[in-house]
Amino acid sequence: MGRNETLYFLCTGNSCRSQMAEGLARNILDPSWHVASAGIEAHGLNPLAVQVMAEIGIDISQQTSTVIDLGYLRQCDLVVTLCGDARDRCPVTPATVKRIHWPLADPAQATGSVAERLLIFRQVRDEIARHIKEI
């Protein structure tokens, strides 16, 4: 068995994209991965993110919205930024930390009916899952 790897998903508010990514990664990746998510700010867990994850059998309702933990960030193997704001404002990491960026739309900014907003959340969720499967 290989060594444990640490993965950190970062976005602006740690309410949608990074929360869904954390839940998906815990479900898709080998259990040896240590997975967490955080934001530049903590905006709380978006209920629509919880709903679209529950649709695919992943419960993220107990996850919490947190700000970046510099200690965890610096010891990560991989940091994934999910929006330009997080990419641009993420603290400096050691050269040993691999950083990648997935420019995802912010589903929290979606407008329209609840059904239309849920469609955007599902599209972003599915795009995140495709990326995680390539890690």
Sequence-separated (6 or more) residues with CB below 8 Å from residue 71: none
Which of 7, 73, 90, 124 is catalytic? The answer is 90
Contact call for residues 80 and 10 (beta carbons, < 8 A)? yes
Active site residue 16: no
What's the whole-number mean pLDDT along residues 106-131?
96
User: Would you mind telling me the total number of residues written for the chain in this entry?
Assistant: 135
- pLDDT band per the 50, 70, 90 thresholds, residue 92: confident
Burial 99-128 (b: 16+ CB within 10 A, else e): eebbebebbbebeeeeeebbebbbebbeeb
What is the pTM for the complete model shown?
0.94
Residue 11 known to be catalytic:
yes
- Catalytic status, residue 90: yes
pLDDT at 1 over 50: no
Q: From the candidates 7, 8, 9, 11, give the one annotated as an active-site residue.
A: 11
Of 83, 86, 120, 124, which residue is the catalytic one?
Answer: 83
Helix, coil or strand: residue 112: coil
